[in-house]
Each structure stands twice: as C-alpha cells, then as structure tokens.
Amino acid sequence: MPFLQKLMNKEHYQLEVLFSGAPSTTPAVQAELFYGVKTAVPAFSFKSQTSDKVVQMNQYQASVDVEKQLKEQAEPLLKGGSSYSNIYRGGAKEANFCASSIGWSQLMKMTPVWKMIIFIVLNLYSFLRVTVLIVVEFLLAFVDFFRGIIARKNLMRELKFVPTRVVISILLRELVTIGAKLDIARGLPIIHLNLLGYDEQAHRRGPGSAFAHWSLKGIDDAIGRIWRAAKSSSQKDYEIWIYSDHGQEETQPYERLYGETVSQAINRVFSNFEQPLTSDTVITHIQGTESHRARYLGGKWMQKLTPFNNVAFSTLPSSEKSVIVTATGPLGSIYLAHPLSRKQTEKLAMALVRDAKIPLIFICNKENVRGAELTIKAFTKNAEYDLPKDRTKIFGKNHPFLEEITEDIMRLCQHAESGELLISGFSPDKPYCTFAMENGSHGGPGPEETRAFALLPYDTPMPVKQKAYLRPADLYEIGLHTLGRNIKPFAENSQLKPLSSQKRPKQTSLRILTYNVHSCFCMDGKLAPKSIAKVIAHYKPDIVALQELDVGRPRTQHADQAHIISKYLQMEYHFHPVIHVEEEQYGNAILTHLPIKLIKAGNLPLIAKKPWFEPRGAIWVSVALNDYNIQIFNTHFGFRKIEQLPQVKALLGKDWLAGVDPNDPIIVCGDFNFSHRSAAYSLITKQFQDLQVELKGHRPLKTFPSRLPCTRIDHVFSNLFFKTVDVKVPRTYLTRNASDHLPLIIDVQLP
C-alpha cells in the first residue's frame, strides 16, 4: 500500500497496534469505536432477546436494535457527521450504504432526477473511472471463478461471487469515496467510511491470497484521494485517521476437516447424550459473510443475489424444544432448549470437544454471585481449564493481548445474548478451524484476528499507555477530545496527555527552528495557527524563532498568534511588534521550553528617504541551558538590498551583537530575505558561521517558496561555540501548505 507507506515516511504518521477486542468482528469493533462500549454483541450472528430471532449484524433490524441499546449507554461519536458502509449509523446525521440505513434503490427514489444528473456531471471523471474499473474487475473475477472451479469449489457459490465481488470491491467502494469527498466539501464535522474488498476476498481465498492483496491496491488509492480532498478542504482542518477493525486468520473449514458440518456433529453428540436434549432437531445458522455487504447498495436484484439464511428472518417456533447453533466464523454459541445443571453442562462440553472435535468450548456464566470471583470453565480435547487462571494454557503464553483477550472472553461468557456454550475453532498449537466454508476468518480470540492497526497523525493526543497498543475504546475517547466533546475533564478522566514539546534531561545538543509563518495564512488561504504549531511540535525544537506573527489584527480574527502557538507547544515566549497601530501588532517571537530572559527588542533602521518601507526589527533573549547562557537573536530583514546592508550593520553593531559577552554562545536566526550570494550575507559571515554551510557533506537546503523552494533566504548563524550535526527542511504536505516558507531546523552539538 504505497500511499500508506508515504504517510509514514513523508507525512510522519505513526503506526499503532490496535487490539480489536473480542469478538473480533466489525459489529463489536464499531460499537466500541462509535460508543465506547466493549463486547456489545456476543458474535456476528446470535439469538436476539429483543426479537427472539437468530440475527446477523448486517441485517437492518438487528443493527437498529443493538444501536438503540448503545445510544442509551453513551454519546455517539459520529453525531452531526456522516457514516458510510458501516454496521451502525454511529449517531451520524447522514448514513449511506449502512446495515441500519436506507439502500441505494431507496436513495434513488428519494432524489429528484435533476439532482442526480447534476451529481453525475460533477463527478463524471469518477463515474468513468468506476466503469473502467468494473470492466477490469469483472475480468479478474472470471479468472478467479475458473480457478475456483479448477480447485473443485461449489459452482453456484463461485458464480454468485463474480458480481458481488465487483459490487463490493469497485462499485460500493467508489460510491463511498465519492460520497466522502462531497461531505468533505460540505464541511461535515466527522466522516467515517468503511472501505470494503479485502475482507471479503480474504474470507473466500485466504488473507494471504493474491486476489485479497489486489483489493488492497484499490483501497490504498481510495484513501489517497480522500486524504488529498480532506487536506484541500476550505471548510475544515480535517484530521485523517486510518485503521483496520480486525485482522484475519488463515483457517480450515470444519466441514472440510471432518466431513460434516459442525451442526451435524453437534446433533449427533446431543442425540447420543445420556439423555437426549432435543427432539432430534438442531436449528443452525452457519454461513460465511463474504458477500452480504453487497446488500448495502439495496435493490431487489442484490437482495436476491445474496439471500440471508431463512432462520434469520423468522421467529423460532420450535425454539422451546430445539437447540440453536449460531456460528458465522470461528466463534459461535449453542443455545440449549432446556437449562442443564452445572455438572450436566460440563459433561456436555466434554462430549462436544471429544466427539464433535470442537477445539475449544467455554461454559457461559450469566449468574455470577455479586462479590464472588468470576471463573469461566473452558474445555479442550485434552484438558479442562479455568479462566482467568489458565489463560496462558488456553490462548498461548505468546498471545500479544493475553490479559485483554482473557477479560473480553470472560465478558462474552457473561453476555445476556450468548448461548449456554461458547464454541471456538481456536487452538494455540493447532491449525485454526472455522465453522463456515471459508479460507480466512476472524471473530475469535486468535492473535492475528485480534491484531489490527491504527495509522494516526503524529500529533494525535494519545492515551497514557499502560500497554503497547490501543483498542477501539481509546480511539473513541481520542475522537471525542479531538472534536471538543469530552464531557469529563480531559487529562483527569480519559487519561490522554495533551501535545507538548518534550523536555530533555541534561542536553548535549540543541535544536533550533526558524520559520516565517506568513501570519498563519496557509497557501490555500485558510487561517490556521494550529497548522504552524503542529509543524513545530513534530520536530520538538528547543528554540523556535518565528517571523510575521499577527496580534489583534482584523485580518487574522484579532487573534494573538504568538500566544496560541506557545500555548499549544507549552512553551514560554517573547514577542516584539515591529508594527504597532492602536490594538494591532505584527512582528517576531522567540519560544522555548528552557528558562528564557528578554534582553532587548527593537526596530532596525529604516532608509530615511523611504519612509513607506515596512518597519523591520529584532528580538534578543538569553536562554539558560546546562551551564551556559545562550544569546538568541531573531530578525526579519527587508526585501531590498538598499535595506539589508544598513540592517545587517545595525545588527552587528554595539546595540546588538557587538554588545554580547564574547564568551557567551550566540545564535542569530530569521528570515533575512538575502541569499548566500548577497553583500549582506558576506558581511555577516565574516563574523559568524552559517550553520548549514558548516555541516560537512551537506548541500544547503532552500526554504522559499514552500511549494517549490528555489532560494535560501532563511538562515541560522552562530559563533564558533557550536558545531552543526544535522539540518532539516521538511517538505511534507503540511509544511508545503502551512506557510509560504518551509521551516529550517538545525541541530547543533554543545561543547
């Protein structure tokens, strides 16, 4: 996925491990992400107490019923935003192609024809692109179809998967992408979209298959288009988070391993039990889910192409005397017709692992005595275990999320809508088994299916981690904070730490950043002091020299830009206005997390015969570091040569640099508006070294203009006290857009 790699390499995104939780399914993960509720559903398919039906979570009514309960527990994350191709609306104002929202055919009926024509014309390129991709995907789908037939797969299932693959991997993905871009243009506060394709292919062919990996290319491209649209938005300063809601395990279907379905095996065991448990009837709901998301488009043709199991749509008239088995993957439930004693239930579990060869069974405990320590019984073919005590034996000592998967499985076993027995195809030392006909699966406690990822901007406020990973509930808290909707105090309750420059112990180096911030006007015209602060924060400088800051000016909404940036960075600062008209100020500032003392701030000389030239100035501070008092000068010279020579002479004179104790370290930085070929540059480098030039083997980097830097007018000079160890001029999307200059960052070594 080259675009995601670019985000990490060039845009400084950070890759976080995300524990999906259990069950490791989209309905459970989205409930935790949208509402902060862990283990909201017992599995992808289960017997609902609300409807007395066996339901799948990509059904409309099932998702609506669950979301109604979630809304009673927590604030929805997507409030006021939009939701695409998800299980739940998540509180979104607008939801499209979701299990709990209207389908494509209904949307067409509700939208006037003239609006649809305008929509198509405005997105003509996208629709042409979709048409071409559909043709290509159909060709690939037929290649995949013939491979499936050669491998002796089911003919009808393979044939049905051809159109559903195209619908999910191309049509639905592209419509979601177009919709998200439209919502970005409208400036909705939050947009959540689920890009499909890989999961469906991985279920069918396996997570490592070439066809599954092919779908990732299209997803990567869609992410890139959405990211660029969001960054170009004139409505909002969007943060773009990218995450996977779960992983995938290479699995072997139970039916292929043992020559019968798991429901047939369970029925056989029940019939031979010490007393028959049912009237020889086991109602099952065991299906793969790789094609059902195509139903999100709506339309009768799609409903017929991907029908649900009939059990899912009817009440269970025989449920009072029949056993119900639900399993759409490697995790499922057995609902007994009549309650058994604890001893009988344990005997039944042992019979199932022994005779039905189910790898792992948990006995659910929904009546734990208050105050008593909860213990969950688990059974494998060879042993009986207790959770949480025997967690390493059940899940393996090397499970990356051992503590949390134990807690989640125990929570599942107490879920009101779990069956009396929880069945799993997981074994830490044997091939993973799934109860559906699929080659890739998720939903259970395995290390790969519960391992997801989150790719986040580098300045995302992160939890004060107790563990080396996140889970969806953490993203829920961070999301509420980012949107400014935390109900509780931020640092105290959600344990998130605000962004700040990291203070170091006794330092052997110093990082200086000089940056002309263009009054915090981005290159797209947006006013965004936060963008400047984000640029600075990522590089964690010790000394920050800023030029062209506004304070109290109408053009920048009367903001105190120096204060805003320093507060964001948690730094002290001194500001000098070179222009001060009534309440309006414009000038330069020095910021640092080190002890700082203002020595002098003032204007540099103007040309007597040119009073209309813009006033220029300098600010001088002393910064204490280790045993040194470092003298820092920040300045902004005029554009014209006629201005620059008098200004550099004044700066070198007794009122400024010549007045410094010669034993003190000195740094002079700023936007000098002259290149290395100018007379002013030659004059200042007679007394001070250019720290870019002093780095051996380094070709000095240009800083202006930011979109296509072609000249070097931002400089950092020093006396011989310092030695340059590194130079950076970062060229990311943010730095190219945040100002008309790029920041110049120099690391120097202290003696």
With b for 16 or more beta-carbon neighbours within 10 A and e for fewer, the 44-63 pattern comes to: bbbbbeeeebbbbbbbebbb
- Round to whole Å and give the CA distance between 296 and 306: 11
DSSP assignment of 652-712 equals HSTTTGGGS-TTS-EEEEEE----TTSHHHHHHTTTSEEHHHHSTT-PPPP-BSSSS--B-
Tokens 């979109």 correspond to what residue? 707
Q: Which residues contact 124 (CB under 8 A, 6 or more apart)?
A: none
- Round to whole Å and give the CA distance between 401 and 398: 9
Q: Which residues contact 370 (CB under 8 A, 6 or more apart)?
A: none
Tokens 């692992």 correspond to what residue? 353
Q: Which residues contact 125 (CB under 8 A, 6 or more apart)?
A: none
- Round to whole Å and give the CA distance between 527 and 550: 11
**Do 452 and 19 touch, CB atoms closer than 8 A?**
yes
- Round to whole Å and give the CA distance between 597 and 588: 16
What is the predicted pLDDT for the residue at 149? 55
What is the predicted pLDDT for the residue at 310? 39
- DSSP-derived 3-state class of residue 634: strand
Per-block average pLDDT, block size 10, for the chain (751 residues)?
A: 92 93 94 95 89 84 91 94 92 84 50 62 67 66 58 53 62 83 89 86 78 82 92 86 93 90 88 62 49 52 48 42 83 87 91 93 74 80 92 94 95 92 90 88 93 91 80 93 69 41 65 97 91 92 97 94 94 94 92 96 83 89 93 96 94 95 94 96 97 94 96 97 96 93 96 82
Q: Which residues contact 264 (CB under 8 A, 6 or more apart)?
A: none
**Do 629 and 623 touch, CB atoms closer than 8 A?**
yes
All structural domains of the chain, each given as residue ranges with its CATH number in brackets, are: 253-308+320-441 (no CATH), 509-749 (3.60.10.10)
What is the predicted pLDDT for the residue at 137? 59
What is the predicted pLDDT for the residue at 154? 52
pTM here? 0.81
**Do 46 and 37 touch, CB atoms closer than 8 A?**
no
Tokens 């540059």 correspond to what residue? 681
- Round to whole Å and give the CA distance between 333 and 265: 14
Phi, psi angle pair for 36, to nearest 5°: 75, 15
DSSP assignment of 191-207 equals EEE---SHHHHHHHH-T
Both tokens assigned to 714: 């931002």
Q: How many CA atoms lie within 13 A of 428 on its CB side?
A: 12
Alpha-carbon dihedral angle through residues 209, 211, 216, 217, given to the nearest 10 degrees:
130
- Round to whole Å and give the CA distance between 445 and 425: 9
